[in-house]
Amino acid sequence: MHVGRYRFVDRLAVGGMAEVFIAIAQGSEGFERPVVVKRLLPHLAALPRFRQMFVDEARIMLSLQHGNIVQILDMGRLDGVPFLALEYVDGRDLRTVLERVRQHGMALPRELMAFVAAEVCRGLDYAHRKRDDQGRPLHIVHRDINPANIFISYEGAVKVGDFGLAKARDNLEQSDAGVIKGKLSYLSPEQAQGQPIDLRSDIFSLGTTLYEATTGQRPFGGDSDVEIVMRVRDGRYTRPSLLDPEYPPALEAIVTRALQPDPRDRYATAAVMGEELQRYLQSAPSRTGDRRLAHFLDELLGQDRRSQSALFRLPPAQALPPVMSSVSHRGSLSDYRHGAPPAGDEEPLAIDPPPVPLPAAGGVGVAAPPAGRPPSPPPLPSLARATPPHDRYIGWLAGGVLVAVAGLLLWRALQPAAALDPPRVSDAPRAALRRERRPRATRVPPRAGVASADAAAVAAVAPRDGGRRGEGGEAPQAQDVAPVRPRAAVVAARRPRRPTRGVLEIATTLAGEVYVDGRLAGRTPGFRRELRPGRHSVSVRPSGRQIRHDGLVEIVAGKTQRLTLTAGPTTAAPSKRGAMR
């Protein structure tokens, strides 16, 4: 779908203020480059306050030109709605990298994470020191440093993105006093309490990210937001060396200083913290840099990279669904992640759900929006008007073919049931269905009086347009054909099965064996196993240690019991919070 000089390829996410797309910017002589387009939600574009906040973000980002910061390339309006065109980084965000590392039972090399943090320090120091045209400091503070806003390219480049919460001295739309913005688990003590902040708040958030990436768990956990804020305020966390006795002392000293509750005890600038990280890297046993980081990402995410590249080979008509109001959250695949994070983003890393896999080119998800999903924003009118005339002729022809196919399906539905073969129901997961290539078809406007259940039945058997739709997209539109009674077999195929087993997960950085009910069940880290409901005895025996970690767990069908194992000196049963010591 073309809008101006941009060809939209896919929707990444819809957040609280904006929706984000991958697009191709097209110029003269066949020039093309991938970009990320961030568009203010239409219903917010009518409010002056939100328009000004959006413009403020653009102004801040436009002033930041640095190799470790995501660049803004263009700003304008699409049908009167403000948008930003941002640099596309061919890679992944750090949160996705950490999730994949956990899924594969691997450990992110600490030297690599120290290199990533040092590169982030470069970008932050530049932003913190930025001055206006008259030489006055802008006092820019990012305010939302966390793994989801740190991007790593497949070539090993590290960039800081999403300055949507950044605060500069000359911001026209100042933040409300006492309002907490950002992800709670990564806020500094002063930010969590709604107090004034400066650049040292970003240093604390980076220290939290460094701790998480090098230990496998967040430093400030809790059963409630209040408990998390109190732990952050008091600086109560487990030192990395207590989780792993082999944790490098020099790296622990850096993390500990960055996580000081009092800003005066932290690093004075991001540059000083970056220098400490560089000294640690120089003393590390193996050299680390962008090449080693690129090699690590290629081994971990090589298949993802090939899937991303396939996106840009889609023809224009398959690039975006005609209705732009579906809500889709995916594992980040671009340089920029905006808006509100998916639900559950504040859970500890060791228990985060895996990211939604990126469907292959041409996949279509046929699923209704989950209950509780916020209403979708209205569609962008200019997109419907952007269809060239000759495409409409083809659309009419395809629509006629679709009506003929629907008529054939109706005739078959009216035949005796004995004459029909039972429909074959695949056991493949829903994600696999979304990866199937679907033939292109044109949407036909819905007709009044067609029941939603009939429309769902038609959508289940008739191909839709080639637009890619993430999980949670809009339900298929009813076609302009006679109602078709859904068959019981089709309805039954879409009914989820009742789970009969539960899942046990053990989050730890220690390597060892896991015994369930006296039998060897797997190894840590990365232990995950389905168990029958009921009470089970669990024993974790770390390699090379004399101590054991024993306890009892209660497994519930359809639920996940997560245990956190720390490297304590004694043996104890699991606590009520699911921690083994």
Return the active site residues: 144
Tokens 């994470």, located at residue: 113
Where is 579: in which H helix or E strand?
strand 579-580
Rounded Cα distance, 284 and 424, in Å: 58
Distance in angstroms (rounded) separating the CA atoms of residues 323 and 445: 12
State the DSSP string of 117-184.
Answer: HHHHHHHHHHHHT-B-TTS-B---B----SGGGEEEETTS-EEE---TT-B-TT-SSPPPTT---S-G
Residue type, 362: G
| CA angle in degrees (0–180, nearest 5) for 576-578-581 | 100
In the chain, helix, strand, coil percent, each to 5?
Answer: 35, 20, 45
- State how far the alpha carbon of 485 is from the alpha carbons of 170, 418, 423, 532, in Å: 62, 17, 15, 39
> Which residues on neighbouring strands pair with residue 6, listed in sequence order?
3, 25
Spatial distance between the Cα atoms of 477 and 417, rounded to a whole number of angstroms: 27
Conformational region of residue 139, where left means phi above 0, alpha means psi within -120 to 50, and beta covers everything else:
left
Whole-angstrom Cα distance, residue 200 to residue 261? 11
Residue 505 phi/psi, 5-degree rounding, is -120, 140
In the structure encoding, which two tokens stand for residue 455, read together? 């429309």
3-state secondary structure of 444: coil
- Answer whether 540's CB lies under 8 Å from 566's CB: no
- For the packed helices 110-128 and 270-283, what is the interaxial angle rounded to 10 degrees? 160
Alpha carbons 288 and 252: distance in angstroms, whole number: 18
Number of helices (H), then strands (E), belonging to the chain: the values are: 16, 17
Round to the nearest angstrom and report the end-to-end CA distance of the chain.
Answer: 55
Total count of residues recorded for the chain: 581
134: which residues sit within 8 A by CB, 6+ positions away? none
Determine contact, residues 366/459, Cβ cutoff 8 Å: yes
